[in-house]
Structure formats: structure tokens, C-alpha cells
Structure 1
Amino acid sequence: MFEEFAGLPAHPLVLHAAVVFVPLLALLTVGYAFVPPIRPHTRWVLGLLAVGAPVAALLAKLSGDAFFDRMRSANRVTPEFLPKLEAHQEFGDNTLWASIGLAIVALALVWFVAPRAGGNTDAGAAGTTVGVRHGRALTVALQVLSLVAAGIAVYYVIRTGDSGAKAVWEGQ
């Protein structure tokens, strides 16, 4: 299902969405956490990225797994090269989990940290009060989590991309 797109391997095409969306989610999450004036303008974008970035990482992982299985079943992977591809695959798995963790932190920021300095009491879709201040301690905790989660997610995107690029350029 995730193996080809228009006759081309899907993985090299799909992975670019994850390479863009996960670091963008990291940047916007930290910005939302630490720069209150941007919150009203970026709230919905952050929420959408929090959903889209892990989906992009999942699609990159699934297409990469399909590509790897196809290459291995066609005997196009030598036994000496297999550990490099498996390491790349493991980094990809970690990138997926890191992007999910970052997305959870981003959604918590959107839900619990007021987009305006005085708090926003607009009723949400479920009738709950969205954006109400939940205390300085929660905000600080989410700020720290945003830095940690963003750093981990960007680290794994870079490691995954580097190991994949080296695998492509070093060949079998």
C-alpha cells in the first residue's frame, strides 16, 4: 500500500513531509510555549501540525518498511549492508515515537495555556472552557516538556535522515 507512488518508491517522496513537519512542529511548540504574543496567531496552526507531523512520520515509516521489504525480498540488500538499514529503520521508529510525544505536548499547550495573557473564556466545542489559566506551575512544566520533546524529535529526525542519506550514498 505504501510502496509506490506513480511508479516511484514512495519512501523518498513521503519522508520529506516528515522532515519538514516534525522540525516545524518542534519550532512552533517551543515558540508557543515561550512567546505569548504569538499564541493567538499560531494556536490552530500548532494544533494542525500536532496532528500532521506524526501522521507524516508514520507514513514515512510505513513506506520505508515497505521499501525495505521489497529490496530485501528482491535480494538487493547484501548481508553486510543490512545492519545499516536496520539502524536507519530503528531511528525512523524513534522519530515516530518522538513526534507523537511532541504532538502530545503541543496539544497540551494549546489546550491548557491561554492564548492571551489574561486567559480566554471562549467556550469550546464540548462546552468546556478552553484556554483558561491552569496555573503557573503547569505552564512552566509544559515549557520544560516542550524543550525536551522538541530537542528529542529534532535529534531523531536528523539521525534518521543522516543514516538514510549515508545508506543511499554508500550503496550496497
Structure 2
Amino acid sequence: MGPTQISGLPAHALLVHVVVVLVPLTALLVVLSAVWPAARRRLGVLTPLVALVAVVSVPLTTHAGEWLEARVPPDALVRRHAELGDGLLPWAIGLFVLAAAVWLWGRRSELGGTADGGTHAAARPGGLAVMIVLAVLSVVVAVGSVVQIYRIGDSGAKAVWHDSFSPNPGPGEHG
């Protein structure tokens, strides 16, 4: 379903950086777009596009991670990391859906105005309520996705670095 190796290295170790950057960036863009109309207008379609790339990068990364997991010794820390990683896709999809909804609602609001300066859709009855709901959902999903990224990253670091180094420098090393 995607690359498992890049230049002889496990692709997971490289692809994970795309996810670690794009998911929190998407979360920030979605919240900004949902709560700040000027940001929504300036960001435009960029927010849902970044969210789309983020959502596509998650299964590519987990697929590469599953490939790598099958090639390392069985380990409870690796299993925990894989389980947490499998839980990221719903959060990424939620960010994408909200990014698209906020963008589309913002477009509807902008296009809903009349040429003579009539009321925008967001100012019409129910429009403000929709934006409030989108803003609250955006904050909740953004926080959830960032917390999940942190949990996955922490478990991955523990899986990789647990018992892999000494707190003291080796012989001949200065520390």
C-alpha cells in the first residue's frame, strides 16, 4: 500500500516525520479557520488540502510501521506503539472532515452575501450556531489528535530507545 523502505531505511522512520508535522499543523489550521474568520478567508482551501495530505500520510505510515514491526523482535513496547498508531486515523479523518466543513461553510457564508451588501450566511439565523458547533468540534478534535500524536510518539521513542543507551559516556568519550 505504500513504501516500506526508502534508500534502504525503514520507511516508517522517515514517514513518521510527515505525520508528526502535518497532524498538529492541520489541528492548528482547523482551529484557526473555525474561530477566526479572517484566518479562514486567508487560509482558504489550504486547510482542507493540508488535512487531506495528513489523512493520506497516516495509513502510509502505519502500513510501513506494520512492515517494520514484523521485522523486529517481539516487544511489548513496540506492540503498544503499534496499537496507539492504529488509533490515529479516526482523528486525522475527523480533522479532514472539519477542515472541509469549516471551509465549505465559510465559502457559503461569503457567497451568501448579496451584491448590495446583504447579510452573510453566518450572520443569518442558525449560521452563528453552526459556526459555534464547528468551532467547538474543531477544538475538541484538534486537541484529541495532538494528544494522540504525543502518546504515539512517546510510546515509539520508548520502544526505540528503551535499554538502547547508557546514561554515562563510553570509555574515551568526553561528557
Return the TM-score normalized by structure 2: 0.81
Structure 1 residue 56, shift from structure 2 partner: 1.4
Cα separation, 2, equivalents of 1:31 and 1:142? 11
2:88 paired with 1:88: no
Distance in 2, Cα, partners of 1:60 & 1:171: 25
User: Which of 96, 100, 103 is the equivalent residue of 2:93?
Assistant: 100
Give structure 1 regions of 4+ aligned residues with deviation exceeding 6 angstroms. none
User: Whole-Å Cα distance in 1 between the matches of residues 106 and 45 of structure 2?
Assistant: 13
**Distance (Å, rounded) in 2 between the aligned partners of 1:10 and 1:99:** 20
**Residue 161 (structure 1) aligns with:** 153
CA contact (8 A) 1:61 1:96 kept: no
Answering whether residue 128 of structure 2 is matched by residue 136 of structure 1, we say yes
Letter aligned with residue 59 of structure 2: L
Alpha carbons 1:2, 1:66 under 8 Å: kept: no
Which structure: larger Rg? 2
Instruction: Return the alpha-carbon distance in structure 1 between the equivalents of residues 146 and 41 of structure 2.
Output: 25
- Aligned equivalent of 2:106, options 96, 102, 113: 113
Q: CA deviation at 1:132?
A: 4.7
Preserved contact between residue 5 and residue 11 of structure 2 (Cα < 8 Å): yes
The CA deviation string for residues 101-160 of structure 1, in whole angstroms up to 9 with x for no partner, is 111111111111348xxx3228xxxxxxxx954611111110010010001100110100
Q: Which amino acid aligns with 2:62?
A: K
TM-score normalised by length of structure 1: 0.82
Structure 2 residue identity aligned to 1:102: L
Partner residue in 1 for 2:71: 70
What are the superposed Cα offsets for residues 71-127 of structure 1, whole Å, 9 maximum, x if unpaired?
Answer: 2xxxxx14xx2x211110111111122111111111111111348xxx3228xxxxx
RMSD: 1.9
Q: Which runs of 5+ in 2 are unaligned?
A: 113-119, 165-175
Q: Deviations over 1:6-54 (max 9, x none)?
A: 1111000011000000000000100111111111210121021120111
Contact between 1:114 and 1:132, CA under 8 Å: does it hold in 2? no
- Quote the Cα distance in structure 2 between the aligned partners of 1:111 and 1:15: 30
Identity %, equivalent residues: 36
